[in-house]
């Protein structure tokens, strides 16, 4: 491997970053050191591996791959192994008949010639890599690069199945052009059905995608796709990184699902888990070569104390090959349009965010507690994606607020396109849980919704899958609780609890959508106030699927009030599609009136006005505006079709006056404002 410079390098556009945020100036050397690590990795990849393009195509050579002449080429990295063999149905499970040849740097390879012009390993046959460990034990392992693994109902562990069908699914539709803003429908294929079972890719393709399209979402973010042995882990304990989960169907079923989404103009993101891995060894990466290291740090550093999982060694050359190739495979084989990186906070810091609060002090983001190897991996990942597939999108799930995480690598940043605005759902929970309606603080709400790093894009959301899980509560449940089971019928009187819940559910979503970021996210079912929590089958609930489902049918029952919330969510998204406020500059907030409980702001040529007062309506209410002209109501949470009280006349036209108000040059008088 070539030697690299030890002198710190200046990111080409670092000065722009420091001028934009002068508080970062004292940390110039940190940015230089991080960029130097990134640059030297990139230089070594160019010199030792033939470039980033070749390096990240390693999924085509590692594992078990079919050659053009029908032969099979196998390659593994197992530095702790004494010997490596391939066994399976093809050789009667003889553990020694097909030994790998040892190469440099812990690599092993095997070539099996074609048999009568055909593959010696038939499609659908089972395989295992057999590792002779340093203590002489024989370990039967699934290749880390396995593309398809299945579990029989009567078994605990997954089996590796060779996937090489005579005819693979061929994508027919191009990926959508890169979106200026995202309206994301966070989804889980397995629960995407009213039935108490594991739903399929086919079900999602033909029953859920049309619903997502109708609701006005332009992007679907898929959770729990990377294979995970434990269903109740929500996909966050990955066992096979290159395998699409077989519990929903075949790889071709997933490819078809993505292709159909593309035909609808829907961008598809993968929830990728590179922050940790399952501890499973029989059907996971753990102890693949018989040691406790290999892909992971050894000892204490290699274990996440809260997640009970293994932590990658991001400084390891072969780990970088594995993870970067993993991203490349999902993009090029399945046509995913980008990634939401899970657990980024855990990656960024040696303390993994455990027992650590982030106050915003910049010293929290620089120093020895930062895992710069992990940060360098993220910079490499974003650089690779941006270089080879610039149309793809990356999102960081980071609760710490690390500066420049969503700025280009050339500025010394992490290279992500978006970060999740994780403070927003926490704020709504805190308000609903702790405050009376009359004590809601308008300034605090606005501050939370607008408090984001300059020129870093945020994805706003009122709630995600986290709030839907058992042990937490969705906004609908917090607002309406047990009455959701008894009083959501239109044949029942509208109780104060249901009335308040429905109105606030809509208002919270709209103000979050319009003020909180540059994109918006919603978890499936929450748009209509799904009445139950999410709980996967486990011992604690007698392996029940009753709560591992989404009751979309509730919105189709004309006698239930869920239809009102569903309709409002749809029309809110359609209005954004029409005016594009998410892609517009941040809103100008002209009013956050504490006693009136009114918030007013302008964005994308629209005026948004919210009355959060629990009982006070207003007539002839003046609102300041920038642009003079005639205004009409486009979306009204109080409209009858959304379960409102119809207190506003939608035929009314509002004309601006050259009358300054709240530091705006013009204003309009809203008669009948409620």
Residue 117 has pLDDT above 90, yes or no: no
Q: Given this model, what pLDDT does residue 6 score?
A: 58
Those residues with Cβ within 8 angstroms of residue 462's Cβ, 6 or more apart along the chain or in another chain? 424, 425, 428, 475, 508, 509, 512, 522
The backbone torsions φ and ψ at residue 614, rounded to the nearest 5 degrees and listed phi first, read: -65, -20
CA distances from 227 to 146, 159, 300, 425 (A): 10, 12, 26, 29
Please determine, for residue 1, whether its predicted confidence score (pLDDT) is greater than 60: no
With CA atoms as reference, report the closest residue to 326 among 450, 227, 187: 227
Question: What's the mean per-residue pLDDT of the chain?
Answer: 96
- Contacts of residue 423, Cβ cutoff 8 Å, sequence gap at least 6: 448, 451
Residues 6+ positions from 36 with CB-CB distance below 8 Å:
5, 7, 8, 9
**Is pLDDT above 70 for 3?**
no
* Residue 339, burial from CB neighbour count under 10 angstroms (0-12, 13-18, 19+): buried
* Helices of type H across 204-302: 209-214, 251-263
Measured between alpha carbons, how far is 301 from 131 in angstroms, rounded to an integer?
25
CB atoms within 10 A of CB 560: 18
Q: Using a pLDDT cut of 70, give the percent of the chain over it.
A: 99
Taking Cα atoms as reference points, which of 534, 395, 558 lies closest to residue 468?
534
pLDDT tens for 231-281 read 999 999 999 999 999 999 999 999 999 999 999 999 999 999 999 999 999
Range with lowest mean pLDDT among 6-10, 189-193, 331-335 = 6-10
Q: Residue range 548-576: average pLDDT?
A: 97
Task: Please list the alpha-helical segments (H only) found in 469-545.
Answer: 475-480, 496-515
Count CB atoms within 10 A of the CB of residue 120.
Answer: 16
Alpha-carbon gap, residue 67 to 134, rounded angstroms: 32
Decide: 322 and 295 in contact? Cβ < 8 Å. yes
Phi and psi torsions of 198, nearest 5°: -80, 115
pTM check: above 0.85: yes
Mean pLDDT computed over 380-405: 97
The one catalytic residue in 186, 397, 518, 571 is 397
The pLDDT tens digits for 32-78 are 999 999 999 999 999 999 999 999 999 999 999 999 999 999 999 99
Across the range 553-566, mean pLDDT stands at 97
Mean pLDDT over 375-387 rounds to 98
Query: Considering only CA atoms, which of 197, 196, 255 is closest in space to residue 222?
Result: 255
* Farthest CA pair distance, the chain: 89
What's the pLDDT score for residue 502? 98
Supply the DSSP symbol for 277: B
At residue 492, the pLDDT reads: 95
HEC letters along 176-189 = CCCCCCCEEEEEEH
CA angle 326, 327, 332 (to 5 degrees): 100
- In the annotation, is 21 catalytic? no
SS3 of 560, please?
A: strand
Which residue among the candidates 76, 342, 373, 398 is catalytic per the annotation? 342
Long-range contacts of 313-320 (CB under 8 A, 24+ apart): 313/373, 314/347, 314/371, 314/373, 314/374, 314/376, 314/377, 315/373, 317/1, 317/105, 318/77, 318/79, 318/105, 318/106, 319/295, 320/41, 320/377, 320/380
Please measure the distance between the N-terminal and C-terminal CA atoms of the chain and give it in whole angstroms.
70
- Which residue would you say has higher pLDDT here, 324 or 10? 324
Give tens-digit pLDDT for 184-226: 999 999 999 999 999 999 999 999 999 999 999 999 999 999 9
Task: State the Cα torsion 436-442-443-445 to the nearest 10°.
Answer: 80
Number of residues assigned to the chain: 674
Residue 2 pLDDT > 50 = no
481 is a catalytic site residue: no
What integer pLDDT is reported at residue 673 of this predicted model? Answer: 54
Residue 497 DSSP SS3: helix
Number of continuous H segments (helices) and E segments (strands) in the chain: 15, 28
Going across the sheet that includes 72-77, the strands are 63-66, 72-77, 107-112, 101-102
Phi, psi for residue 365 in degrees, rounded to 5: -105, 0
pLDDT higher than threshold 60 for residue 30: yes
Task: Retrieve residue 66's tokens.
Answer: 């079919």
């Amino acid at each position: 491997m070539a030697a690299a410079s030890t002198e710190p390098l200046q990111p080409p556009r670092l000065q722009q970053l420091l001028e934009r945020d002068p508080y970062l100036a004292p940390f110039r050397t940190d940015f230089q050191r991080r960029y130097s690590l990134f640059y030297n990795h990139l230089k070594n990849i160019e010199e030792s591996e033939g470039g980033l393009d070749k390096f990240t195509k390693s999924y085509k050579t590692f594992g078990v791959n079919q050659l053009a002449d029908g032969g099979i080429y196998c390659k593994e990295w197992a530095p702790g192994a004494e010997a490596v063999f391939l066994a399976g149905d093809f050789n009667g499970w003889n553990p020694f008949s097909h030994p790998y040849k040892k190469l440099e740097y812990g690599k092993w390879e095997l070539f099996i010639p074609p048999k009568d012009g055909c593959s010696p390993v038939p499609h659908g046959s089972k395989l295992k890599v057999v590792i002779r460990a340093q203590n002489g034990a024989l370990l039967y392992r699934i290749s880390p690069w396995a593309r398809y693994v299945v579990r029989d109902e009567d078994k605990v562990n997954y089996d590796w199945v060779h996937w090489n069908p005579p005819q693979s699914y061929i994508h027919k539709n191009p990926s959508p052009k890169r979106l200026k803003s995202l309206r994301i429908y966070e989804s889980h294929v397995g629960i995407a059905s009213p039935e108490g079972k594991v739903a399929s890719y086919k079900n999602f393709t033909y029953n859920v995608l049309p619903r997502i399209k109708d609701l006005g979402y332009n992007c679907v973010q898929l959770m729990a796709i990377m294979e995970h042995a434990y269903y109740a882990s929500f996909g966050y304990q990955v066992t096979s990184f290159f395998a699409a989960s077989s519990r929903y169907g075949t790889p071709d079923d997933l490819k078809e699902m993505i292709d159909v989404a593309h035909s609808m103009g829907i961008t598809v993101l993968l929830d990728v888990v590179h922050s940790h891995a399952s501890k499973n060894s029989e059907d996971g990466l753990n102890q693949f070569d018989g040691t406790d290291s290999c892909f992971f740090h050894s000892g204490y550093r290699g274990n996440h104390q809260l997640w009970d999982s293994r932590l990658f060694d991001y400084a390891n050359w072969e780990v970088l090959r594995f993870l970067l190739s993993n991203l490349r495979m999902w993009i090029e084989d399945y046509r995913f349009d980008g990634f939401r990186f899970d657990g980024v906070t855990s990656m960024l810091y040696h303390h993994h965010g455990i027992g650590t609060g982030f106050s915003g002090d910049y010293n929290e983001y620089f120093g020895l507690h930062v895992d710069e190897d992990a940060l360098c991996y993220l910079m490499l990942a974003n650089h690779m994606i941006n270089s080879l597939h610039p149309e793809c999108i990356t999102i960081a799930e980071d609760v710490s607020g690390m500066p420049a995480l969503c700025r280009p690598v050339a500025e010394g940043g992490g290279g992500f396109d978006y970060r999740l605005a994780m403070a927003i759902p926490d704020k709504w929970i805190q308000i609903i849980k702790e405050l009376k309606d009359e004590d809601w603080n308008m300034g605090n709400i606005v501050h939370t919704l607008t408090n984001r790093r300059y020129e870093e894009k945020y994805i706003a959301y009122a709630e995600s899958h986290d709030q839907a899980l058992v042990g937490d509560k969705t906004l609908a449940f917090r607002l309406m609780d047990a009455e959701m089971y008894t009083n959501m019928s239109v044949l029942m009187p509208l109780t104060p609890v249901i009335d308040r819940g429905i109105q606030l559910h809509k208002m919270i979503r709209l103000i979050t959508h319009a003020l909180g970021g540059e994109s918006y996210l919603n978890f499936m079912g929450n748009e209509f106030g799904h009445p139950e929590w999410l709980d996967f089958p486990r011992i604690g609930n007698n392996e029940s699927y009753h709560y591992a489902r989404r009751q979309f049918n509730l919105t189709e029952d004309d006698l239930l009030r869920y239809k009102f919330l569903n309709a409002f969510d749809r029309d809110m998204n359609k209005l954004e599609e029409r005016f594009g406020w998410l892609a517009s500059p941040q809103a100008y907030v002209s009013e956050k009136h504490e006693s009136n409980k009114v918030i007013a702001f302008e964005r994308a040529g629209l005026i948004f006005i919210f009355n959060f007062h629990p009982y006070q309506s207003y007539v002839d209410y003046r609102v300041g505006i920038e642009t003079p002209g005639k205004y009409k109501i486009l979306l009204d949470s109080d409209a009858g079709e959304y379960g409102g009280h119809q207190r506003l006349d939608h035929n009314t036209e509002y004309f601006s006056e050259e009358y300054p108000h709240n530091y705006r040059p013009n204003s309009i008088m809203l008669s009948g404002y409620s």
